[in-house]
């Protein structure tokens, strides 16, 4: 993905004071796309989302129109709110008086009475105002709720994307791709899956940031935002979604622990691109490892660790990420060492030992594999190899998997985290 400022429709604002201009810019961009494309696109928009079928119609497109300039007595008038949620706020509002300027108007000239489609736009995750939409209803004389509409940017995104895939006009394709990219850059559509082409292109670093930047940073990533908004459905309501400046991965970590502790020392769940050509999810445990995995002075597994692992791994068998074509999970014990050329506090991770789990393995075999981890824990501890240590349970999904492009990947990732919550909680003790 190119830098965001290379996008044809990108508007850089310095603060929230530029929010109104951002809405104006977005309205202008959307109407320009409709205007420059074949009339069929506008017709599809009106029919699909407003239930207004027009044949052989001609359209006019205007932005920043004063309410008193809209000919309500000569035209049939509809009011449409465009926002992230797509709520029909106008229908729920009470008509009232007041003046103002609407973001845009599409005027339809057909065999019937001309129709004015009044458009009000909200950008990013902002919601339409009952007061504002009520004022528009009152001044436009819209007492019939059926003349009020709500459309989500996701609906518009999919309409434009479908049209782009079918049109043979190069200019149309260019404009449509620029505007759909703009909607993603502005976080105005929810996560729809990762784009494999952008994951392997020259601008992959910028693309990852638009997807994985933590919610504690400006302009959170679309995937991170989706994880954060859905986390409560998976018993992760106390977690936040954070990332570093590189935003190669996003981490779900307990909010209170993050506020009072050092991230590197905290248990957390992660999702991202730390392996080449793979999307990975993992549980990362950096503390209380030796005492929770093996008996004191021995490589024998603690019964409690064995039990929680056997239960959790068996539960992984039934989740969506466990596919026949990719059933493997990786269990690793890691140590960090200081290399000769490492900067102060920088360390290099190496695998003390790693084993693979897959569905169908009997309990005795799983216990043997956990025993490998136990021996690695004891041997590296006794030999005093490295100083930082971690225990990881990881799932790797190659770019070639159809899972990468699925919007459900958010829920499947959270389902994986939820399944491993008993292991996460075990290491708190």
Neighbours of 295 (CB within 10 A): 14
Q: Find out whether 429 and 292 touch, Cβ atoms under 8 Å.
A: yes
Q: What is d(CA 13, CA 24) in angstroms, rounded to the nearest whole number?
A: 12
pLDDT for the residue numbered 342: 54
361: pLDDT confidence band, cut at 50, 70 and 90? very high
Over residues 238-252, the pLDDT tens digits come to 999 999 878 899 999
> Is this structure's pTM higher than 0.75?
yes
Average pLDDT over residues 286-311: 94
Over residues 139-176, the pLDDT tens digits come to 999 999 999 999 999 999 999 999 999 988 898 999 99
Inform me whether the pLDDT recorded for 120 exceeds 70: yes
Q: Which residue, among 233, 191, 238, 188, has the nearest Cα to 212 in the 3D structure?
A: 191
Cα 46–Cα 48–Cα 53 angle in degrees, nearest 5: 55
Phi and psi angles of residue 251, each rounded to the nearest 5 degrees, phi first: -120, 135
DSSP state of 265: G
73: pLDDT confidence band, cut at 50, 70 and 90? confident
Average pLDDT over residues 5-26: 69
Q: In what order do the strands lie in the sheet with 268-272?
A: 239-242, 249-254, 268-272, 278-285, 388-398, 329-337, 348-357
The counts of H helices and E strands in the chain are 15, 12
Q: Delimit the domains of the chain by residue range.
A: 4-156, 193-426
Of 254 and 343, the structure prediction assigns the larger pLDDT to 254
* Pure H helices in 129-203: 130-140, 153-166, 170-185, 196-199
Over residues 162-213, the pLDDT tens digits come to 999 998 889 899 999 999 989 988 889 999 999 998 898 788 888 899 899 9
DSSP state of 326: B
Average pLDDT over residues 60-86: 95
Neighbours of 32 (CB within 10 A): 16
Q: What is d(CA 44, CA 150) in angstroms, rounded to the nearest whole number?
A: 16
- What lies within 8 Å, CB to CB, of 305 at 6+ separation is 292, 293, 294, 370, 426
Minimum mean pLDDT range among 8-22, 24-38, 172-186: 8-22
């Amino acid at each position: 993905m190119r830098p965001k400022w290379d996008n044809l429709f990108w508007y850089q604002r310095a603060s929230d004071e530029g929010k109104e201009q951002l809405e104006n810019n977005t309205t202008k961009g959307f109407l320009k796309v409709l205007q420059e494309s074949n009339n069929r696109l506008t017709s599809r928009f009106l029919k699909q989302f407003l239930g207004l079928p027009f044949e052989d119609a001609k359209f006019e497109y205007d932005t920043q129109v004063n309410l008193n300039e809209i000919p309500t007595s000569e035209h049939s008038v509809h009011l449409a709110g465009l926002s992230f949620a797509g709520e029909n706020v106008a229908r729920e509002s009470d008509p009232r008086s007041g003046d103002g300027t609407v973001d845009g108007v599409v005027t339809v000239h057909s065999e019937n009475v001309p129709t004015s489609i009044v458009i009000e736009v909200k950008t990013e995750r902002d919601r339409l105002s009952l007061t504002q939409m009520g004022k528009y209803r009152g001044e436009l004389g819209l007492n019939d709720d059926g003349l009020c509409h709500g459309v989500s940017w996701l609906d518009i995104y999919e309409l434009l994307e479908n049209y782009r895939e079918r049109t043979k006009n190069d200019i149309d394709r260019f404009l449509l791709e620029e505007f759909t990219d703009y909607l993603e850059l502005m976080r105005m559509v929810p996560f729809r899956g990762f784009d494999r082409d952008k994951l392997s292109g020259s601008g992959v670093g910028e693309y990852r940031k638009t997807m994985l930047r933590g919610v504690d940073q400006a302009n959170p990533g679309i995937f991170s935002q989706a994880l954060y908004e859905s986390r409560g459905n998976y018993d992760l309501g106390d977690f936040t979604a954070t990332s570093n400046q590189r935003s190669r991965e996003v981490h779900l970590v307990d909010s209170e622990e993050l506020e009072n502790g050092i991230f590197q020392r905290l248990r957390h769940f992660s999702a991202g691109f730390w392996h080449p050509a793979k999307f990975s999810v993992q549980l990362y445990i950096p503390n209380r490892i030796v005492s929770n995995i093996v008996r004191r002075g021995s490589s024998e597994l603690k019964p409690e660790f064995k039990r929680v692992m056997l239960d959790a791994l068996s539960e992984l068998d039934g989740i969506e990420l466990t596919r026949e074509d990719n059933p493997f999970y990786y269990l690793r014990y890691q140590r960090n060492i200081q290399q000769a050329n490492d900067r102060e506090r920088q360390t290099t991770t190496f695998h003390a030992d790693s084993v693979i789990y897959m569905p169908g393995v009997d309990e005795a075999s799983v216990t043997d594999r956990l025993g490998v981890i136990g021996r690695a824990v004891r041997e590296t501890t006794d030999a005093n190899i490295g100083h930082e240590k971690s225990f990881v349970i990881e799932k790797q999904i190659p770019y070639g998997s159809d899972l990468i492009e699925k919007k459900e990947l958010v829920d499947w990732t959270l389902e994986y985290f939820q399944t491993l919550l008993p292991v996460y909680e075990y290491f708190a003790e």
